[in-house]
């Protein structure tokens, strides 16, 4: 005999539960966690390194690197004596909350003030998975063109901030003004509509 | 690739609910998929068919209800339907201060199952006269 069973469960609720645990671990350690997302090659790792150079040395930062394969990015971070864990997703096109949870035990969380989680370079899937970070920041870069927010709306809708990188290349590109699509949650009043513009090249932004 | 992870999550919710109910088999799954999620129905069906092989949900019918996208303008207060591709401005007053208020959810609403045997080990019992 057939029976109807009401379920009414958001499909990513299992991921979101682990994300909430991660967020609680970050809060307990008193650190700010940032989920950094972009297309491949937009400059996430370079932006992390350039940012850390400009922050006071008293601020202690750690990094989780997400890539399908290789430890290239983690090696760049480790060369600066910054605590880093490389997650190799082995084919998965995004980080999820359980992957981040498994990386946390390899970091000195209580000693950190700031944790960058560099997601897999991809403008689609990473937008779907809450990692427990306090902020979602999307790095867009000039060579990608002006149309990415239209082509990949989910990524930009869910961003707390968008950083426009490689502005030193602006003279080589005709970049139309970036207009961001509607977002799914109300922002605080006075939320800036235009992204901060930077270059991760020394002295250029 | 995207729908693979999404469909794995759908299947795991379905199987958890079916096992909790002691079901013998899942015959149908009802999903609500927001128009703005970007999830492709055919792709979900494709992965569901393959991922569910050998589970209680093998062969289950997927009923997918599309939830329309909705937006709201903070400048003029207007509400309007939103279809991909997203508009950069309010269709009523032109303000860019617009927000998505519906159509980005994906839920497993309910499942239909065949009940398990109320008398475990009942198979093979002699038929009652």
Structural domains present in chain A: 16-179 (3.40.50.300)
d(C-alpha A4, C-alpha B113), whole Å:
6
CATH number at residue B15: 3.30.2320.80
d(C-alpha A136, C-alpha A158), whole Å:
7
Task: Give the per-residue pLDDT at A202.
Answer: 63
Question: B124 lies in a domain?
Answer: no
Which residue does chain A place closest to B72, by CA atoms?
Answer: A182
Question: B38 lies in a domain?
Answer: yes
Task: Give the per-residue pLDDT at B54.
Answer: 97
Task: Give the per-residue pLDDT at A204.
Answer: 61
CB contact under 8 A, B107 and A15: no
Among the listed ranges A64-68, A86-90, A168-172, B125-129, which one has the minimum average pLDDT value? Answer: B125-129
Task: Give the per-residue pLDDT at A90.
Answer: 86
Domain of residue B78, residue span: 2-115
Question: B122 lies in a domain?
Answer: no
Task: Give the per-residue pLDDT at B128.
Answer: 43
Which residue does chain B place closest to A13, by CA atoms?
Answer: B9
Burial class (CB in 10 A: 0-12, 13-18, 19+), A101: middle
d(C-alpha A165, C-alpha A205), whole Å:
9
d(C-alpha B41, C-alpha A159), whole Å:
26
Question: B71 lies in a domain?
Answer: yes
Which residue does chain A place closest to B109, by CA atoms?
Answer: A8
Q: Is the pLDDT of residue B121 over 60?
A: no
- Mean predicted lDDT score pLDDT of chain B: 87
CB contact under 8 A, B99 and A96: no
Task: Give the per-residue pLDDT at B87.
Answer: 72
Q: How confident is the model over B36-56, as pLDDT tens digits?
A: 888 899 999 999 999 999 999
Q: How far is residue A83 CA from its own chain's centroid?
A: 17
**Total Cβ atoms within 10 A of residue A30:** 10
Whether the CB-CB separation of A200 and A165 falls below 8 Å is answered with yes
d(C-alpha A82, C-alpha A119), whole Å:
18
Q: How confident is the model over A69-119, as pLDDT tens digits?
A: 999 999 999 999 999 999 999 888 899 999 999 999 999 999 999 999 999
- DSSP result, A66-129: EESS-SHHHHHHHTTT--EEEEE-TT-SS--HHHHHHHHTTS-GGG-SEEEEE--S-SSGGGG-
Q: How confident is the model over A146-190, as pLDDT tens digits?
A: 888 888 888 988 899 999 999 888 888 766 655 666 665 554 444
pTM (two decimals): 0.80
Number of domain units in chain B: 1
Chain A residue numbers with beta carbons less than 8 Å from the beta carbon of B10 are 11
Q: How many CB pairs under 8 A join A and B?
A: 111
Q: Is the pLDDT of residue B129 over 50?
A: no
Q: What is the 3-state secondary structure (H, E, C) of B36-103?
A: CCCCCHHHHHHHHHHHCCCCCCCCCEEEEEEECEEEEECCCCCEEEECCCCCCCCCCCCCCCEEEEEC
Q: Is the pLDDT of residue A39 over 70?
A: yes
């Amino acid at each position: 005999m057939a029976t109807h069973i009401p379920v009414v469960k958001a499909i990513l609720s299992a991921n979101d539960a682990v994300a909430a645990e991660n967020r609680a671990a970050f809060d307990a350690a008193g650190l700010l966690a940032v989920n950094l997302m972009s297309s491949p090659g937009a400059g996430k790792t370079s932006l992390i390194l350039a940012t850390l150079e400009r922050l006071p040395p008293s601020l202690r930062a750690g990094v989780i690197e997400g890539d399908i394969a290789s430890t290239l990015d983690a090696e760049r971070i480790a060369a600066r004596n910054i605590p880093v864990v490389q997650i190799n997703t082995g084919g998965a096109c995004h980080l999820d909350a359980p992957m981040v949870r498994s990386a946390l035990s390899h970091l000195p969380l209580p000693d950190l003030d700031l944790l960058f989680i560099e997601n897999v370079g991809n403008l689609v899937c990473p937008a779907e998975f809450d990692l427990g970070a306090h902020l979602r920041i999307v790095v867009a870069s000039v060579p990608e063109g002006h149309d990415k927010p239209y082509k990949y709306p989910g990524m930009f809708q869910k961003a707390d901030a968008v950083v426009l990188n490689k502005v030193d290349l602006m003279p080589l590109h005709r970049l139309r003004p970036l207009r961001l699509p509607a977002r799914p949650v109300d922002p605080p009043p006075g939320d800036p509509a235009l992204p901060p513009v930077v270059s991760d090249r020394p002295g250029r932004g | 690739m995207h729908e693979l992870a999404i469909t794995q999550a759908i299947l795991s919710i379905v199987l958890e609910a079916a096992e909790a109910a002691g079901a013998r088999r899942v015959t149908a799954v009802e999903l609500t998929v927001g128009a703005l999620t970007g999830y492709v129905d055919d792709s979900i069906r494709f992965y569901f068919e393959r991922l569910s092989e050998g589970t209680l949900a093998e062969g289950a019918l997927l009923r997918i209800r599309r939830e329309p996208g909705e937006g709201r303008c903070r400048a003029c207060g207007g509400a309007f339907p939103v279809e991909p591709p997203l508009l950069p401005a309010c269709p009523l007053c032109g303000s860019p201060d617009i927000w998505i208020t519906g159509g980005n959810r994906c839920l497993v609403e309910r499942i239909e199952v065949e009940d398990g045997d109320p008398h475990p080990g009942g198979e093979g019992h002699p038929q009652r006269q």
